[in-house]
Amino acid sequence: MLTRFAPSPTGELHLGHAYSAVQAHQAARAAGGRFLIRIDDIDGRRSREEYVAASLADLDWLGLDRDGDPVRQSDRLAHYAAALDTLRMRDLVYPCFCTRADIAASLSAPHGPSGAVYPGTCRNLPARERMRRMAVEPHCWRLDMARAVAETGALFREETGQGLRATDAAAHGDIVLARKDAPASYHLASTLDDAAMGITHVIRGADLIASTDVHRLLQALLDLPVPLYRHHALVCGPDGKRLAKRDAAASLASLRAAGVDGRALAADLRGGRLPAGYSLQMP
Ligand code: GLU
């Protein structure tokens, strides 16, 4: 068994991250398997080196020993570009020039599991216009979801303890696979990395359940191994809302500064016990 914890170094880790890391670590250790760390630093503008160091220090404080050096997404950009190339050659992605404002202004943008569903403005641009604009306009690359789904047919994935589930990637519409400012999106990078790292069990928060349907589709398109998934409940604060990076009181750095024993905290989280005021909830 290989599990992973994949923090984005865009802020301090909080109790929710600790819970997630403890779950993935515990599953691996209980099975005599390996626990890996991946640094999701694909967003060069928001990622900070100081948060990488702080996240690793937090994991040490929790007593979660890891196997091998952390994998960094910023070291794997060429792999993402190669995967995008294969999708491009198969006509499964297209360049999109729309701004956020363009999409927000579109009356035909219904809501999907990951926000507004892209209305398809750039999907069928004439080839010449596409070439001309690509040379001068910033663009992202979107998956042509209808074509992708037509290619793969119905897909299923396994949720640990719950058996097979049908997936519904189509509900997301034409998602972004490579951003204007980064050579891959979370969906593409995470799916490729989980495969390259040999992750057998992806254990992460239930906020990512819908994203998993997209990841399952990418696995089918790119001929990648399919891990098992377990989506756990999310840690909510005293206000009943799930924790966010701005909730300073729940940051692991502040708990550590307040003298909390990290290993004791990890043992509590392993047993599903949270500090007073916090709770676990399924979204
Ligand atoms: N870096 C992602 C996050 O922090 C990881 C998600 C995942 O586990 O796939 O949300």
Alpha-carbon span 121 to 103, nearest angstrom: 9
Average pLDDT, the chain: 95
> Tokens at residue 95, please?
């360049």
CA torsion 59-69-230-268 (nearest 10°) is -20
Residue 159: strand pairing partners: 163, 229
pLDDT at 114: 81
Three-state SS string over the chain comes to CEEEECCCCCCCCEHHHHHHHHHHHHHHHHCCCEEEEEECCCCCCCCCHHHHHHHHHHHHHHCCCCCCCCEEHHHCHHHHHHHHHHHHHCCCEEEECCCHHHHHHCCCCCEECCEECCCCCCCCCCHHHHHHHHHHCCCEEEECHHHHHHHHCCCEEEECCCEEEECCHHHHCCCEEECCCCCCCHHHHHHHHHHHCCCCEEEEEHHHHHHHHHHHHHHHHHCCCCCEEEEECEEECCCCCECCCCCHHHEHHHHHHCCCCHHHHHHHHHCCCCCCCCEEECC
Query: Ligand 1 center to residue 203 CA distance, Å?
Result: 10
User: What is the rounded average pLDDT of the residues 82-88?
Assistant: 97
Cα dist. 221→87, 149, 150, 218, 243 in Å? 8, 9, 11, 5, 34
Alpha-carbon span 116 to 280, nearest angstrom: 28
CB 263 within 8 A of CB 62: yes
Confidence of residue 108 (pLDDT cuts 50, 70, 90): low
Q: Is the predicted pLDDT of residue 76 greater than 70, yes or no?
A: yes
Residue with CA closest to ligand 1 atom 9:
190
Confidence of residue 105 (pLDDT cuts 50, 70, 90): confident
pLDDT at 89: 97
Alpha-carbon span 194 to 71, nearest angstrom: 11
Q: What is the position in ligand 1's atom list of the atom closest to the CA of 202?
A: 8
Specify whether domain 78-178 bears CATH 3.90.800.10.
yes
Query: Ligand 1 center to residue 127 CA distance, Å?
Result: 36
pLDDT at 182: 87
- What amino acid positions are annotated as catalytic residues? 245
> Tokens at residue 275, please?
């500090």
pLDDT at 213: 98
Between 230 and 115, residue with greater pLDDT: 230
In tens, the pLDDT along 126-183 reads 999 999 999 999 999 999 999 999 999 999 999 999 999 999 999 999 999 999 988 8
Alpha-carbon span 280 to 258, nearest angstrom: 23
Specify whether domain 2-75+233-281 bears CATH 3.40.50.620.
yes
Query: Ligand 1 center to residue 191 CA distance, Å?
Result: 11
Cα dist. 45→42, 176, 240 in Å? 9, 18, 31
Q: Is the predicted pLDDT of residue 247 greater than 90, yes or no?
A: no
* Domain layout of the chain by residue ranges: 2-75+233-281, 78-178
Q: What is the position in ligand 1's atom list of the atom closest to the CA of 205?
A: 8
* Ligand 1 environment, Cβ below 6 A: 6-8, 40, 190, 204, 208
In tens, the pLDDT along 9-66 reads 999 999 999 999 999 999 999 999 999 999 999 998 899 999 999 999 999 999 999 9
Percent of the chain whose predicted confidence (pLDDT) is above 70: 99
Cα dist. 58→46, 62, 151 in Å? 20, 6, 43
Q: Is the predicted pLDDT of residue 109 greater than 70, yes or no?
A: no
- Per-position b or e across 57-77, b if 16+ CB within 10 A of its CB: ebbebbebebeeebbbbeebe
Give residue 259's identity as a one-letter amino acid code. Answer: G
pLDDT at 276: 93
Percent of the chain whose predicted confidence (pLDDT) is above 90: 89
